[in-house]
Structure 1
């Protein structure tokens, strides 16, 4: 999963990234609140981990912005030195999903992150098979079956379609999609993703009259939505 970590202590941010990276997550670290907010305007993440006292814009202010500006539900974990009951209550009241007091304990962090992701994205936790009528996905065989017919897709096309259907209704940034499907390939031509999107749309017939809409969002990414067949 894709996680953003906000902490003005670069060494702690790197350690959190290392711990979660070993669990298979892709972490991006930020030391200033406003920089993270600017990134959130063009990037999507599965989870935010926020320190409270950071330069320029506090973690609480970042959380307030997230809850008022981001449409899709986004789990947020506070990881901070502020341990007073009033601080914990304020953080949770502002919209945090969990609150953890430093010093960070590795096993506890992993357990809390896993619990938040499991609640927020139950369809993504180790899922190998997924059914969204009329499609059936098998991640082991990398096959897509529609109405009993196996579609001819490449492995990358499968990975892209599987990602989109596991995030049905969510707006995913281009970087989010690239990391999930192609990894950290900084030399990936920008048109490669658009070409694969076009092929997936065509092969799966992702059109409104077929019950799905796969749309680009300018300067951000793509969203797959399930819509009424009569739209």
Structure 2
């Protein structure tokens, strides 16, 4: 029997030493780990099995790479939390990962302590809320924290972990201006080591899902140079 709190973790990385090191470390902590070396195997396993979290290397050495794995899973409505592992630490590479649907990213060489912290943050924030209102509404939006579900005019809208957390913060205080740093803390509990501009990517994806005209948003409003708020401009 797995110990309490044990996770099923999918690791996709084509570096044998790192893959085995992560697999061994997590298994010693009592977690169940599936470790694969290529993107196709990652897609196959994630499409047929349940995982609590997936750790995807960006550069898997062959097609599909980590970005494509992420995009494929999201297109199949698989919303397992995904953390990208990348040796590419530029802003453009970070944005590509978030555009693909990843929830967080960690630059290599990765420290196990930091990776554990990121995993805990994803799972803590993705879990059900125990305090405050469980169902929040604004205009056509109804957000159910317990079920981790958003409805737009009664129709379900699937959000990634990070998108849900951003909208949760905004809908909890309509009209309040949130800076990018505040929204990062709403997702992760802190904003350290995370690019505030990543919030712009999540906001753009949210608008594509909930705005009638994303190019002229009426729900999530940009306050230039300051941040975002939920409410009319």
TM-score, normalised with respect to structure 1 = 0.50
**Distance in 2 between the 1:21 and 1:168 partners?**
29
- How far apart are the structure 2 equivalents of 1:58 and 1:109? 21
Could you tell me how far 1:3 is from its partner in structure 2?
A: 0.7
Q: CA deviation at 1:82?
A: 1.0
- State the partner residue of 1:42: 48
Output one character per residue of 1:142-172: Cα deviation in whole Å (capped at 9) or x when no partner: xxxxxxxxxxxxxxxxxxxxxxxxx999xxx
> Given the two structures, how large is their TM-score scaled by the length of structure 2?
0.50
C-alpha displacement of 1:40: 2.2
Cα deviation digits, residues 57-85 of structure 1 (max 9, x gap): 100000000111034x3100001111111
Aligned to 1:58: 65
Does 2:27 correspond to 1:21? yes
Instruction: Output the CA distance in 2 between the equivalents of 1:86 and 1:69.
Output: 25
Cα distance between partner residues in 1 of 2:99 and 2:148: 28
Contact in 2 for aligned 1:20/1:110 (Cα 8 Å): no
**2: distance between equivalents of 1:57 and 1:89?**
18
Deviation sequence 1:108-166 (CA, Å, 0-9, x none): 0111111111122348xxxxxxxxxxxxxxxxxxxxxxxxxxxxxxxxxxxxxxxxxxx
Structure 2 segments unaligned to the other structure (5+ residues): 1-6, 130-146, 150-233
Q: Distance in 2 between matches of 1:119 and 1:168?
A: 10
Distance in 1 between residues matched to 2:92 and 2:128, nearest whole Å = 31
Return 5+ residue gaps in structure 1 as ranges. Answer: 124-166, 170-231
Matches of 1:168 and 1:91, distance apart in 2: 23
Question: Is residue 128–residue 148 contact of structure 2 (8 Å, CA) maintained in 1?
Answer: no
| Aligned mates of 2:27, 2:124 — CA distance in 1 | 17
Match of 2:14 among 8, 12, 15: 8
- Structure 1 contact 7–32 (Cα < 8 Å) conserved: yes
User: Which structure has the greater CA radius of gyration?
Assistant: 1
Establish whether residue 91 from structure 1 lines up as the match of residue 97 from structure 2. Answer: yes
> How many residues are aligned here?
126
4+ runs of 1 displaced by more than 3 Å?
none
Q: Does the residue aligned with 1:4 lie in a helix, a strand or coil?
A: strand
